Each structure stands twice: as structure tokens, then as C-alpha cells.
Amino acid sequence: MQNEVKQDQNSVKKLVTTPFVKIAIGAVVFLASAVVFGLLALNLIIKHGEKVVVPNLVNKSVVEALDLVSERRLELKKAGARNSSLIPENFIVSQDPLPGSVIKEGASISVVISLGSQISQVPDVSGKPVREAQVELNRAGLKAGRISRVHHQKVADTVIAQMPAAGQQVERDTPVNVLVSLGQYPRKYRLPDFAGASVELAGRILEAMGIQIGEIMPRIDFSRPQGTVLDQNPRPGLLVRQGDTISLVVSSLKGEVNELERKQAVFIYQVPYGFWSKSVRIEVTDPEGIRTIYNEIEEPGAGIRAAFGYSAQCTVKVYLDDVLETERIMR
């Protein structure tokens, strides 16, 4: 019996010492160790980070999203960008993981950022001041296009019509052309005959008609009182419109010829239409020298009346933002 036990022990020793069995035992030990260490590592990882709930980042700006993930000690990762007709530019379109998911501190949330819509809806700017209309078009992602102006019953500088029409869907940066009112048509009058009237009376009548007095030229005439209208241009009976200019010839007595040889005039000018106000400077040059008769900041389309006196003949120069815009000789 003892001999049989010894034989079995010897057989086991021989089996254990064979190469194949040694390899098998080593593999089992290695796998067991890997499982143990894996469980230990997993346990350490689980204990390392606190769990947090993923916030909702959709329809939030990138800046706001960064604040939200930073508060939870998470990271924000850009996964892409695409156009969206619903989500504004630089706002979050989608996220992964979804809101409400539970993740560990330090994890990343992948987001897709909106590039904005490629299509804009044309706003209705009819009836609005032209500057307000331009601002509204820019806000809608469109450009202010060509501005055309016509006389109309609407208040001056008010948009009458637009193209493309309000409500149309167009590509971003599409120019929108507008038609702007110049106000009602100026009234027309048949010019009265001012001959024999005083220059003061003629001036009051012309002012009521909206007609401007241009040059007032003296002429020696002993048969009429000082300052009596002798002639006019345009001639009596002609049709004139509000804003037009008339020149008058008035009587001068002999003793006052020298004083009246200094001519009086009113220079009429309209600032060109545009988007910005301009500095308007008007200079007069005559034998007495150069002098400035007007220097103001004016809105586009503003009308200017600058009264001045001059000797012999003069040159009137208009500067816009210190650049010569027009020049006129007056005799």
C-alpha cells in the first residue's frame, strides 16, 4: 500500500515538472493577478471622481456653456459646427452626453456649434425713417442697398417701398433697395410783379411763398423812393416752385450810391444725400479778402441759406469735410 502511494506522488511530481503544465500554471496565476489588480484599479477610479449631472447646453451661447461646465468641473469639447435656422450663430446645437446624464468630474462634453442661418427673412421697413430701416436690415443679416428718392405724401426721409418685399426668404447679406420720400411736391406759383413795391414788402411776400431772395442789386433812380423794386428775375407771371430763387433790382439815391454798391446776396445750397452728417464750410472771396460765412455740421439733404455782402464780384466756395465740393461766381 505504501508503495502505491509513493508511486502516485512520484507521478504527480513528474507531471508538475513537465513544461506544458508549468506554462499552464503560470498563465492561471497571471490571469488571476490581472483580475485582482483590475478590480483594485476600478475601485480606485470609482473612488477618485465625484459624479455630476450633465447640464443642458443646447441653445446656450458658447460663453454661457463654458460657465456651466466649469461650475461642475467638466470640460467642453467642440465636435463640429453646422448651420441652423433655429439656433443663433455661436450657440450650442447639440451635445453628447445628453442633459441629465451622470458622469465623473473632469469628463468632457462634446458639442456642435451653430454657424447661424444662411437664410434671412426680409423685415418690413416701410414707413420707417431711412436710418432706422438700415439698422433693422443689418440686424436681420442683410445689407442696405440702393436708395432712390421721389416726392411723396409721406414725411421726407421715410421709406415708401422696398425690394425684396417684406417676408421674403433670402440669402444672408442680400442687399435690400429702398424707395425714400422727398416729401410732398413743392407748390408752384405765378411770380407776382414786384415793380414799385418796397424791397421789404417783396421780401415778406416771397417768404410766404417759400421763394428765396438771391441777389439784391442797386440802381440809381431819383424818381423812386430808396429801396423800391425796379426789376426782377425771373420775370413776372412765370411759374416758380417753393425753394426757387429770385433776384431783385432796387432803387438807389445819388447820395447813397457808394453804400449800395456793396451788394447783398443769399447763397442757397443743399447738402448731398447720404448716410452721414457732414461739416459744411462756405467761404466768400472778393476784393475785401476771404471770409467764412457759414461753418456748421449738417444732416444729409439739409437746406442752407447764407446771407452775405460783397463788393464788385465774388467767388463762393463750399467745402464738405474740408474738401472743396462746389464753386460759384457771383457778379
Q: Provide the Cα torsion 215, 306, 320, 302; round to 10°.
A: -110
How many CB atoms neighbour CB 261 within 10 A?
12
**Residues 6 or more apart in contact with residue 40 via CB below 8 angstroms:** none
Please say if the pLDDT value at position 8 is more than 60. no
Selected residue with higher pLDDT from 42 and 67: 67
In which band, very low, low, confident or very high, does the pLDDT at 257 lie, cut at 50, 70 and 90? very low
Determine the pLDDT at residue 26.
Answer: 58
Question: What is the rounded distance in angstroms from the CA atom of residue 94 to the CA atom of residue 129?
Answer: 40
Question: What is the rounded distance in angstroms from the CA atom of residue 18 to the CA atom of residue 288?
Answer: 129
Average pLDDT, the chain: 83
Could you check whether 119-181 and 263-331 share the same CATH topology?
no
Determine the pLDDT at residue 58.
Answer: 96
Q: Which of 42-56, 197-211, 314-328 has the lowest mean pLDDT?
A: 42-56
**Residues 6 or more apart in contact with residue 270 via CB below 8 angstroms:** 301, 302, 303, 304
Which class is 119-181 in CATH?
alpha beta
DSSP label of 157: T
Which class is 263-331 in CATH?
mainly beta
pLDDT tens-digit profile of 71-110? 999 999 999 998 887 888 899 999 999 999 999 999 999 9
Determine the pLDDT at residue 187.
Answer: 81
Distances (CA, A) of 249 to 42, 206, 211, 232, 252: 109, 15, 16, 6, 10
pLDDT tens-digit profile of 208-231? 888 888 888 888 887 888 888 999
Cell of 28: 492561471
The length of the chain in residues reads 331
Please say if the pLDDT value at position 49 is more than 50. yes
Fold designation for 51-114 = Trypsin Inhibitor V; Chain A (3.30.10)
In which band, very low, low, confident or very high, does the pLDDT at 131 lie, cut at 50, 70 and 90? very high
Tell me if the domain spanning 186-261 has CATH number 3.30.10.20. Answer: yes
Q: Do residues 191 and 222 make contact, with C-beta atoms less than 8 angstroms apart?
A: no
Please say if the pLDDT value at position 35 is more than 70. no
Q: Which of 38-42, 104-108, 170-174, 193-197 has the lowest mean pLDDT?
A: 38-42
Task: Break the chain into its structural domains and give their ranges.
Answer: 51-114, 119-181, 186-261, 263-331
Q: Is 85 helix (H, G, I), strand (E, B) or coil?
A: coil
Cell of 104: 465623473
Q: Do residues 132 and 76 make contact, with C-beta atoms less than 8 angstroms apart?
A: no
Q: What would you measure as the largest C-alpha separation in the chain, in angstroms?
A: 174
Determine the pLDDT at residue 232.
Answer: 92
Question: What is the rounded distance in angstroms from the CA atom of residue 331 to the CA atom of residue 162?
Answer: 46
Determine the pLDDT at residue 79.
Answer: 94
In which band, very low, low, confident or very high, does the pLDDT at 22 lie, cut at 50, 70 and 90? low
Determine the pLDDT at residue 172.
Answer: 84
Compute the average pLDDT of residues 300-315: 86
In which band, very low, low, confident or very high, does the pLDDT at 38 lie, cut at 50, 70 and 90? low
Please say if the pLDDT value at position 260 is more than 50. no
